Amino acid sequence: MLIGGTGGEATVTPPAAEDVSGNPVSEINAGEQVILTTAVTNENAQSQPFVALIEVRDSNDITVYLAWQTGTLPANGRADIGLSWTPDFADTYEVRTFVISSLSSPQILSEIATSQITVN
């Protein structure tokens, strides 16, 4: 359960799939590694620690993947996040990303951004 915060201290782009070279992927096959990417932007004039989370839910709304990357956003700065995922099955997945302040005492820093990824 996330406690406190309403978002607005950071923004995230909807997650996208890329290959390991950073090129956008239009077709994904089960068993094929992709990089799920998002960009996190600090909306504050001071630096702040962050945890960017990427969650993948299958068509039954079950979380099949959850990963995060931590760091510190510079004042009014941006961080590009990329996390490796290999889908096991063909499905249409909802990919969600959002930012919190820390894992130990989380405050919500952004709204949730979503996208759909179809795996063959």
Cβ-defined contacts of 16-24 (< 8 Å, 24+)? 16/115, 17/95, 17/117, 18/82
In tens, the pLDDT along 56-72 reads 999 999 999 999 999 99
Question: Domain limits at 110?
Answer: 10-119
The domain tally of the chain equals 1
pLDDT at position 7, please? 60
Is the residue at 73 inside a domain? yes
Q: Is residue 3 part of a domain?
A: no
pLDDT in tens, 83-120: 999 999 999 999 999 999 999 999 999 999 999 999 99
The CATH number of whichever domain residue 73 belongs to comes to 2.60.40.10
